[in-house]
Amino acid sequence: MQMNLVAFLTALTTPLLAQAQQPKPPVINGGLPSVSPSGDAIAFLSNRDGEYDVYVTTPDGSELMRITRSPAFESAPLWTGSRLVFAIWADNKSTVYAASAEAPQPTVIGTSSGRQPAISPDGKKLLFSKGQFPAMQLVESALDGSNERELMKTPSAQFNAVYSPDQKQIAFARTDSTRQLQIWVMNADGSGERQLTHFRTGDGSPQWPAWSPDGASLAIQSGRYNRQTPSENTAHIWLVDVKTGAAKRLNPHERAYLDETPSWFPDGKRIAFQSDRTGRMEVWVMNADGTGSVQVTR
Q: Chain-centre distance of CA 271, in angstroms?
A: 13
On whether the CB atoms of residues 160 and 154 are closer than 8 A, the answer is no
State residue 153's pLDDT score.
86
Element housing 7 (H / E): helix 3-11
Rounded Cα gap, residues 80 and 123, in angstroms: 6
Please give the Cα distance from 112 to 92 (Å, whole number): 9
- 276 and 9 Cβ atoms separated by less than 8 Å: no
Task: State whether CATH 3.10.310.10 applies to domain 3-295.
Answer: no
Chain centre distance of CA 203 = 21
Domain coordinates in residue numbering, the chain:
3-295
- Would you state the pLDDT for residue 69? 85
pLDDT at residue 93, rounded to an integer: 93
What CA–CA distance (Å, rounded) separates 294 from 177?
38
**pLDDT given at position 101:** 66
pLDDT along the chain (298 residues), means of 10: 43 38 63 96 91 92 89 91 91 89 80 93 94 89 95 89 97 91 96 96 95 98 93 96 97 95 98 96 98 97
Q: Which three-class secondary structure string do you get for 30-78?
A: CEEEEECCCCCCEEEEECCCCCCEEEEECCCCCCEEECCCCCCCECCCE
Dist. CA 22–CA 70, nearest whole Å: 11
pLDDT value at residue 166: 97
Query: 170: which strand partners?
Result: 163, 186
